[in-house]
Structure 1
Amino acid sequence: MKIGLLQAGHLADSIVKTHGDYDRLYPALLKNQGFDFVSYPVVDGVFPDGPGDADGWLISGSRHGAYEDHDWIEPLEALIRDIHDSGVPLVGICFGHQIIAQAMGGTVEKFDGGWAVGPTDYTEGEDTLTLNAWHQDQVTRRPDTAHLTASNAFCENAMLTYGDHIWTIQAHPEFENAFIHDLMAARGRGIVPDPILDAAEARLSDPIDSDAIAQRIGAFFRAARTS
């Protein structure tokens, strides 16, 4: 199954040297599930011809804001709506979660409550998921067509679905604890308040549910659909 990675950003050089860029992280997250990835760095203006160029799509994280004035934002939103109309499965992670919501009529803002960093707990029904987060922006108003499936006190719209073919999450299942440690060292201090970084550092030995989410994403891509 061919998965098109719509790469919406690049990681810092120091992080890429150790962990790779987004085009390495997502294939690693979804390894051994039968997926072949092709990357389209939309952040650099490289786009597919349309939704039919892949069997499924994944929009990456990014240091950019969905609401920022970049030449590639509007074409990406148009592509998202085309993918939605086509029924091809689409996954959005962090920035991807946000830009899909914005493209579908929701609102993304720099959240007044500040940052979420490191292992973070989310409530999904009766279950608790622990995943790594790194964001200040979030979806503050979800689209009318979005269904809320997971949340916490800091981030109400933490996981959304749109019908049976779009699934999005604010957290970063592709970020392991070692990655968060290095990301805090590379671009944490002076950007994120020290108490938030200290609290995240204290949880870096906590187990996270990235493998469970990876299996869920894989099952989502492979699922039979009614439309």
Structure 2
Amino acid sequence: MTLNTKKDPRVAVIKTGTTYPDIKSRFGDFEAWFIRALSGNLDITVVDVAAGETPDAPGNWDGIVVTGSPAMVSDRESWSEATADWLAQAVAECVPLLGVCYGHQLLAHAFGGEVGYHPDGRETGTKQVERLAASDLDPLFANLPRTFPAQLTHRQSVLRLPPEAVLLARSAFEPHQAFRIGQCAWGVQFHPEFTEAIMGAYLDVQSPELTREGLDIDRLKAELAPAPEASGLLQQFSDLVLQMKKD
């Protein structure tokens, strides 16, 4: 467990896996990307649940972020199922929560949604996301453009949302790009923590697999672009945590 000695508010980054070795050597691991993008005014603790670490009770945190993972939610590994139960408790206690990619899927699973392999295969690269009307008053999404670029890489998706979820965003490939449960728990399939350089590194590492799957590597690389609006969600989430702590 990696600790930061800063003062409150306390935020748990729930680490659900690790990136490719080459990418890790160049850019650091998942948690580093989140820490760089979240506010420096947060007291961040990284809890590696995939490695067997256990976070404090949800109510002991002022905010929670759940990372992506090479694991699959549908495998229902014991650490993942335990984390899903923990997330459900966090939502019940109204702790601000943001699940990203695997975290997005795990949050949906925790509330009865269906997670599995996307019927059309993998989505990867810089893609356009459409913000829906239901997000017009949402604390995280309301100020985003109606369409914005985002970095994506995933093979599993939320195939069916939980009954109480509010759908906030979609893309041409992925109908469930973002949703909210309750007042302050969000799941996003896209990666706000990715930079354009990290996304490009993923395309390089995945290139043999993408070629086998019939995807056009040259086109995917040509479409790479910054995604500042999507990345800004992490600062928006930070601001929300800071404001709720004040209140």
TM-score (norm 1): 0.92
Equivalence for 2:219 = 199
Residue 209 (structure 1) shift: 2.4
Q: Are 2:25 and 1:17 aligned?
A: yes
Quote the Cα distance in structure 2 between the aligned partners of 1:153 and 1:4: 32
Q: Are 2:80 and 1:68 aligned?
A: no
Find 1:5's aligned residue among 13, 16, 35: 13
Residue 167 (structure 1) shift: 1.2
Instruction: Calculate the aligned-residue CA RMSD, in Å.
Output: 1.8
SS in structure 1 of the partner of residue 194 of structure 2: coil
Q: Are 2:198 and 1:190 aligned?
A: no
Find 2:96's aligned residue among 75, 89, 97: 89
Find 2:58's aligned residue among 51, 54, 76: 51
Equivalence for 2:233 = 213
CA contact (8 A) 1:107 1:142 kept: yes
SS in structure 2 of the partner of residue 174 of structure 1: coil
TM-score (norm 2): 0.85
CA contact (8 A) 1:132 1:172 kept: yes
Quote the Cα distance in structure 1 between the aligned partners of 2:76 and 2:91: 23
* Equivalent position amino acid for 2:221 in 1: E
Equivalence for 2:47 = 40
Quote the Cα distance in structure 1 between the aligned partners of 2:71 and 2:231: 26
Residue 183 (structure 1) shift: 1.6
Equivalence for 1:104 = 111
CA separation of 1:81 and 1:205: change in aligned 2, threshold 3 A: closer
**Which has the higher mean CA deviation after the structures are superposed, 75-84 or 209-218?**
209-218
**Runs of 5+ in structure 2 lacking a partner?**
1-8, 133-144
Quote the Cα distance in structure 2 between the aligned partners of 1:222 and 1:111: 36
Residue 145 (structure 1) shift: 1.1
Large movers: runs of 4+ above 6 Å = none
Quote the Cα distance in structure 2 between the aligned partners of 1:141 and 1:62: 20
Alignment of 1:93-132 (within 5 A): 93-125=100-132, 127-132=146-151
CA contact (8 A) 1:117 1:196 kept: no
Equivalence for 1:136 = 155
Quote the Cα distance in structure 2 between the aligned partners of 1:58 and 1:222: 14
Residue 165 (structure 1) shift: 1.5
Alignment of 1:161-176 (within 5 A): 161-176=180-195
SS in structure 2 of the partner of residue 72 of structure 1: helix
**Which has the higher mean CA deviation after the structures are superposed, 23-32 or 87-96?**
23-32
CA contact (8 A) 1:117 1:197 kept: no
**Runs of 5+ in structure 1 lacking a partner?**
none
Q: How many residues align?
A: 224
Residue 208 (structure 1) shift: 4.3
Residue 190 (structure 1) shift: 2.2
Residue 194 (structure 1) shift: 4.9
